[in-house]
């Protein structure tokens, strides 16, 4: 289930979603699983084995590209950024060169005072990949400028004034609608101190264990992309504050009143919602659409960024004349014309001809990758209880992201208790020595290829079992009481 739902007419909720891909097939990783000496009903696995399993499942180069794009600088560095400073990071200096203060002022004449050029530079400075340097021949300055203009086209829809140029009463300066971005810093009708948008708060589920709601806090839309709902605030907080979800969960107002009001939009711009690509990778063409996507009309161009943001509501033939996508396209066309952004021959500004990503069946499509971990429930006869003690990449939202360091181990150890019926697993740097001697004299170790009859005994991993019926190849396990083996006291 996609827990990060879109809100009609607003920003599509931030998510790290997934789609079927060839790499998601069960991977038989060598795994040394041993009884936990500190838990009679648990097991320990080596972090070396876990890392090997994770690396094998994320070997596609795109995982490294995604992770690189989501790298961040420390907030100490970010908060020292000011326009014109010699110490500004290189990507910030590029922005100052291709989109200076004058350009910012030109597009923000109606903007709320919380949006400033300094905060814009800090939001970009947090993420080195935004307006970063390409060393493979691509034009870094051109990609930077196109990225910013694309972002402003969406800002104008999400938080814009939407006032006609001819409405001299409300628009005395006769600004184009594409010059009216960032008017709203909070969702219309909401203010600090209100506790709305608390759907799901307080439930006993993995979402609340990972992203617990703050008492009385409201998670309504804030910032340039109207970040909403507690799980999105929690995910964004982890990126901004070194893995600490509670900072923004307990103080969501920061997303309106600091440079985070623009950083949340940059984060979304860089984050893949697989099977949706990151918007940056549509613009810089790091993403290569699969044949299935091409057949569904999804290729390069501004139209695909609409599909990424809100395709389920704004794309497809039935949405051809709908207000939201029509506005976005008008704003993009006005901005791209003003800023002389070239439109390539294979680019489409519209998405009415596209199938929304959420409606597209990408099962088996080459090059479409998963980005979330879930327990691998496949049966392994050579492992305790037949459990895999591994996780797999899946096509739906889970508590664990393939793009967050450490989440694979958390998935295997069921850190947020999201896998019902999963064995108790602890990851260790060094496995304890295995005692191969039978715990009771004369009871031989279990052999996978041997036939055992009812009443036969065997020892396995420091425990003694008795066969309840004829069995061969079934691993004795204390966590499988319905199996052919009975654990003896």
Query: Do the Cβ atoms of 425 and 44 come closer than 8 Å?
Result: yes
Torsions phi, psi for 333 (to 5 deg): -65, -40
SS3 for 485? strand
pLDDT tens per residue, range 77-126: 999 999 999 999 999 999 999 999 999 999 999 999 999 999 999 999 99
pLDDT tens, N- to C-terminus, the chain (489 residues): 233 433 322 223 333 333 333 333 444 567 889 888 888 889 999 999 999 999 999 999 999 999 999 999 999 999 999 999 999 999 999 999 999 999 999 999 999 999 999 999 999 999 999 999 999 999 999 999 999 999 999 999 999 999 999 999 999 999 999 999 999 999 999 999 888 899 889 999 999 999 999 999 999 999 999 999 999 999 999 999 999 999 999 999 999 999 999 999 999 999 998 778 999 999 999 999 988 899 999 999 999 999 999 999 999 999 999 999 999 999 999 999 999 999 999 999 999 999 999 888 776 666 678 889 999 999 998 888 889 999 999 878 899 999 999 999 999 999 999 999 999 999 999 888 765 555 555 688 888 778 999 999 988 887 889 999 999 989 998 888 889 999 988
For β-strands 39-46 and 424-428, DSSP reports them as parallel
Q: How many residues does the chain have?
A: 489
Per-residue model confidence (pLDDT) at position 365:
67
Dist. CA 54–CA 56, nearest whole Å = 5
Region of 99 on the Ramachandran plot (φ > 0 left; ψ -120 to 50 alpha; else beta): beta
pLDDT tens per residue, range 249-300: 999 999 999 999 999 999 999 999 877 899 999 999 999 998 889 999 999 9
Dist. CA 123–CA 92, nearest whole Å = 9
* Residues annotated as part of the active site: 158
Dist. CA 34–CA 44, nearest whole Å = 5
Per-residue model confidence (pLDDT) at position 436:
53
Give the side-chain half-sphere CA count within 13 A for 81: 28
Torsions phi, psi for 169 (to 5 deg): -70, -50
Instruction: Return the H-helix or E-strand segment holding 36.
Output: strand 33-36
Query: Do the Cβ atoms of 195 and 230 come closer than 8 Å?
Result: no
Listed in sequence order, the residues at least 6 apart from 406 whose beta carbon sits closer than 8 Å to its beta carbon are none
Burial of 345 (0-12, 13-18, 19+ CB in 10 A): exposed
Dist. CA 228–CA 208, nearest whole Å = 15
Residue entry with tokens 């970009």: 124
Per-residue model confidence (pLDDT) at position 399:
94
Dist. CA 32–CA 423, nearest whole Å = 15
0.85 surpassed by pTM: no
Listed in sequence order, the residues at least 6 apart from 337 whose beta carbon sits closer than 8 Å to its beta carbon are none
Torsions phi, psi for 45 (to 5 deg): -130, 155
Q: Domains (ranges, CATH) in the chain?
A: 22-55+369-428 (no CATH), 65-347 (1.10.530.10), 435-489 (2.10.10.20)
For β-strands 463-467 and 485-487, DSSP reports them as antiparallel
Dist. CA 330–CA 142, nearest whole Å = 21
Cα distance from N-terminal residue to C-terminal residue, the chain: 43
Distances (CA, A) of 478 to 76, 256, 300, 423: 51, 53, 54, 10
């Amino acid at each position: 289930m996609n827990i990060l739902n879109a809100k009609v007419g607003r920003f599509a909720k931030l998510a790290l979603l997934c789609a079927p891909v060839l790499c998601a097939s069960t991977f038989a990783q060598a795994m040394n699983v041993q009884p936990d000496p500190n838990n009679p009903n648990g097991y320990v696995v080596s972090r070396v084995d876990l890392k090997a399993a994770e690396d094998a499942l994320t070997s596609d180069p795109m995982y490294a590209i995604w992770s690189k794009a989501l790298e961040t600088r420390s907030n100490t560095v970010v908060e020292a950024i000011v326009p014109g400073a010699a110490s500004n990071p290189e990507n910030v200096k590029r922005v100052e060169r291709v989109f200076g203060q004058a350009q910012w002022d030109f597009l923000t004449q109606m903007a709320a005072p919380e949006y400033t050029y300094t905060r814009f530079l800090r939001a970009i400075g947090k993420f080195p990949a935004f307006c970063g340097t390409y060393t493979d021949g691509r034009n870094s300055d051109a990609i930077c400028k196109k990225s910013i203009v694309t972002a402003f086209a969406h800002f104008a829809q999400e938080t814009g004034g939407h006032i006609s140029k001819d409405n001299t009463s409300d628009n005395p300066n006769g600004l184009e609608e594409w010059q009216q971005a960032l008017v709203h810093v909070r969702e219309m009708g909401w203010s600090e101190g209100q506790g709305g948008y608390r759907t799901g708060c307080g439930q006993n589920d993995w979402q609340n264990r990972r992203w617990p709601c703050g008492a009385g806090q409201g998670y309504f839309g804030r910032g340039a992309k109207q970040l909403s709902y507690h799980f999105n605030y929690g995910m964004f907080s982890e990126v901004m504050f070194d893995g600490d979800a509670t900072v923004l969960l307990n103080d969501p107002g920061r997303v309106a009143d600091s440079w985070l009001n623009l950083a949340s939009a940059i984060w979304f711009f860089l984050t893949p919602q697989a099977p949706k690509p990151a918007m940056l990778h549509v613009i810089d063409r790091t993403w290569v659409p699969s044949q299935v996507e091409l057949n569904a009309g999804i290729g390069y161009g501004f139209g695909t960024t609409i599909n990424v943001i809100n395709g389920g509501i704004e794309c497809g033939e039935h949405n051809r004349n709908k207000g939201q996508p029509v506005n976005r396209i008008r704003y993009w066309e006005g901005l791209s014309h003003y800023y002389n952004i070239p439109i390539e021959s294979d680019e489409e500004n519209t998405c009415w001809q596209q199938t929304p990503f959420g409606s597209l069946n990408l099962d088996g499509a080459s090059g479409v990758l998963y980005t979330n971990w879930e327990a691998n429930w496949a049966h392994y006869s050579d492992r305790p209880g037949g459990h895999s003690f591994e996780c797999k990449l899946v096509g739906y939202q889970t508590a664990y992201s393939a793009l967050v360091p450490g989440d694979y181990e958390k998935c295997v150890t069921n850190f947020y208790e999201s896998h019902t019926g999963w064995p108790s697993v602890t990851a260790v740097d060094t496995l304890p020595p295995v005692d191969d001697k039978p715990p009771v004299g004369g009871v031989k170790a279990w052999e996978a290829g041997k036939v055992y009859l009812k009443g036969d005994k065997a020892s396995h991993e420091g425990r003694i079992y008795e066969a309840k019926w004829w069995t061969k190849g079934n691993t004795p396990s204390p966590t499988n009481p319905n199996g052919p083996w009975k654990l003896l006291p």
